[in-house]
Amino acid sequence: MATKSKKPPVAVDKLTETQAKVELVRLALEIERHNEAYYNEDAPKISDAAYDELRKRSDAIEARFPGLVTRDSPSQKVGAAPSGRFAKVPHAVPMLSLGNAFTDEDVTDFVDRVRRFLKLGENDIPAIVAEPKIDGLSLSLRYEHGELVRGATRGDGFAGEDVTANVRTIADIPHKLKGRNIPAVCEIRGEVYMLKKDFLALNKRQAEAEDTVFANPRNSAAGSLRQKDVSVTASRPLKFFAYTWGEMSEMPAKTQFKMIEWIEKAGFVTNPLTTLCDSVDEVLKFYRKIETQRAKLGYDIDGVVYKVDRLDWQERLGFVSRSPRWAIAHKFAAEQATTVLNDIEIQVGRTGALTPVAKLAPVTVGGVVVQNATLHNEDYIKGIGNDGQPIREGVDIRVGDTVVVQRAGDVIPQIVSVVMDNRPRDAQPYKFPTVCPACGSHAVREEDPKTGRPDSVRRCTNTLACPAQAKERLKHFVARNAFDIDGLGDKQIEEFFTDGLVMSPVDIFTLEKRDGRSQKKLADREGYGATSVRNLFAAIEARRTIALARFIFALGIRHIGEGNAKLLARHYGTVEAFRAAMIAAGAGDDSEAYRDLNGIEGVGTVVANALVEFFKEPHSVKAVDDLLGEISVQPAEKAKTDSPIAGKIVVFTGSLEKFTRDEAKATAERLGAKASGSVSKKTDYVVAGPGAGSKLAEANKLGVKVLTEDEWLALVGGA
């Protein structure tokens, strides 16, 4: 029997509209099938060239019949012209964060709290769903009558960014839900992420193109999703795990685990490692298993999430603050990796501190490609601790060493040990510089007045003319807790300082005026435009009025952190009084102004001397006066002295339910108390919320009075 030859497709320009409609449906289904094989199964069934031909034909038909384009069209996965900023969209159901557990005891406490809240018997352990905690970008997908209508990021939990066009380019996200009896309104939530291998390949391409290289897969995924040009998002290998939901007009199942199964049937990718556990032992066993598999997974995770299985129990348990009572994240301990120390670089900070930074052969540690790690100071390199005692068995660190790197708190990389068996024979002890690498001035170690030993930090003595210090002080000046100028971050300060546009704080506030007189406008610089420059000038203008405490902190005076800045602001009240007192204190230790300064509770000699030295320098006073000519400093609100907590030291701990930690501290300080971060014999009150741990234990040990949130509110009169 003869084989029937395959009929060639009708040329696009010969298609009728009816034929085109049928052809587009066929092409959409075929392209979707190949997308599934390529992206999800990693098993493409046709060549790239054949796949491209399918896409080209579909695009050509849509170009001839634009009225046939629908939201399911393959072209909609590539997107449209660049748009403006993403619109903000409210979440019908808030996307709240999870509380954290770090130990087995924390997990046991979580289950016990659930059991007690539900009034279950001591041996009645609720079923718990355990799933890997994906390190990606949270996303909420809204479907109406089965059709995808919106994709939004988490944002602040109550409103996120509308990234619908970008979401449509992700192969793991269906445009139409599968199955029958789909709820009229259905919000599916999960995590956008990037596979490790895809991340490394993308970074390689970015580097070759001299384009932005991403720090880690999570940032890469987030940056890729938030592209204004949808075609850029479409070109990035983003994936999506679905694991929860938001608004639902009706619930397809009655348990968390069954809901995950339903979500998968509806067309989503769910994590195959998700497990239903019937005891605390099973939960912890699952955690250990996932922890050992962590490095081998194709994607990054930073812990395990536990959720009460029964949905009616979830509803009864409800929420505390911004976290559900029925779920918790069990975070992993800091991950370690081995790599080679290629060099040690010295960085100079705003106070002249010379900080050594390890330059490492790139290594992935806990989902982050680490190339730098802190070495703290020269004693740390020598293997000596802050107390002068040996650390790492007294082993020093040398260029060429094989070292073990750890991300402290999974954030700041640091070298924790040296693999001595791998030390090169020609490796020499590191000689810490005695001159500043930025300006060539002497770098010295001052004597610590508390210990009588040399300070652990070596500092550049050229505080006035050292360019590195000046630049770092400017970065500090615009930081979040100082002037907090939107659009003027470290990158912009580096650029403006290098080009001589901003050399001191006052230059920031004269930038617009000088730009108006300049032949080369900011808007003409690479990476800028009229809109971005206008926004920058508006942000600067908005910071011409600032609170006194922020102003003092922004000056970048050594030893003056946020706490001391608040103490000084409350004591002196106005910037005029503060300036006059600091200059007067420079007359000598026996001056009334110095005694007053040194007598402020919490200030002390070290801080007082740092302030005096700063204001003794005419250059510093001129910089302050120049700045005051451009801005307005608000007087500080005087702390009450007649409140029941005036002069007391208060520590807040646990998950506070009736106010945030910042609100609690602000109230305490306004009423004349000091909000401390640690418990000591001097502590007067510890205010403990649910989940209070070591600080509560220390308070009980020291006999410090412990208050509940209600008792605290009663004490301060509801303020």
Question: Which sequence positions are flagged as catalytic?
Answer: 133
Give the integer Cα–Cα distance in Å for 496 and 528: 13
DSSP letter string, 354-402: EEEEEEEEEEEETTEEEEEEE--SHHHHHTB-TTS-BSGGG----TT-E
Cα torsion at 460, 462, 467, 469 (round to 10°)? 50
Q: What is the largest CA-CA distance in the chain?
A: 115
Give the integer Cα–Cα distance in Å for 148 and 187: 9
Location of structure tokens 């049928």: 22
Give the integer Cα–Cα distance in Å for 130 and 291: 13
Long-range contacts of 159-164 (CB under 8 A, 24+ apart): 159/88, 159/89, 159/90, 159/91, 160/88, 160/89, 160/91, 160/95, 161/86, 161/87, 161/88, 161/89, 161/226, 162/86, 162/87, 162/88, 162/89, 163/86, 163/139, 163/225, 163/226
Handedness of CA 513, 515, 516, 519 (dihedral sign): positive
Beta bridge partners of 690: none
Distances (CA, A) of 73 to 18, 31, 178, 328, 556: 16, 10, 17, 40, 56
β pairing state of 327-331 and 99-101: parallel
| 154 and 365 Cβ atoms separated by less than 8 Å | no
Give the integer Cα–Cα distance in Å for 313 and 424: 60
3-state secondary structure 211-233: CCCCCCHHHHHHHHHCCCCHHHH
Give the integer Cα–Cα distance in Å for 153 and 166: 11
Give the integer Cα–Cα distance in Å for 279 and 294: 23
Indicate the DSSP class of residue 454. Answer: B
Give the integer Cα–Cα distance in Å for 599 and 216: 48
Distances (CA, A) of 388 to 379, 380, 430, 493: 8, 10, 18, 37
Give the integer Cα–Cα distance in Å for 185 and 289: 37
| 175 and 72 Cβ atoms separated by less than 8 Å | yes
- Show Cβ contacts of residue 505 under 8 Å, excluding neighbours closer than 6 positions: 474, 477, 554, 623, 627
What are φ and ψ of residue 381, in 5° steps?
-65, -35
Q: Could you count the other beta carbons within 10 Å of the beta carbon of residue 518?
A: 12
Buried (b) or exposed (e) across 286-307, using 16+ Cβ within 10 A? bbeebbeebeeeebbbbbbbbb
What are φ and ψ of residue 310, in 5° steps?
-70, 125
DSSP letter string, 298-324: SS-EEEEEEEESBHHHHHHH-EETTEE
- Show Cβ contacts of residue 157 under 8 Å, excluding neighbours closer than 6 positions: 91, 94, 95, 96, 97, 322
| 489 and 478 Cβ atoms separated by less than 8 Å | yes
What's the burial of 560, exposed, middle or buried (CB within 10 Å: 0-12/13-18/19+)?
Answer: buried
Give the integer Cα–Cα distance in Å for 593 and 585: 5
Terminal CA-to-CA distance of the chain, rounded, Å?
93
Give the integer Cα–Cα distance in Å for 682 and 671: 18
β pairing state of 674-676 and 275-277: unpaired
- Show Cβ contacts of residue 446 under 8 Å, excluding neighbours closer than 6 positions: 454, 455, 459
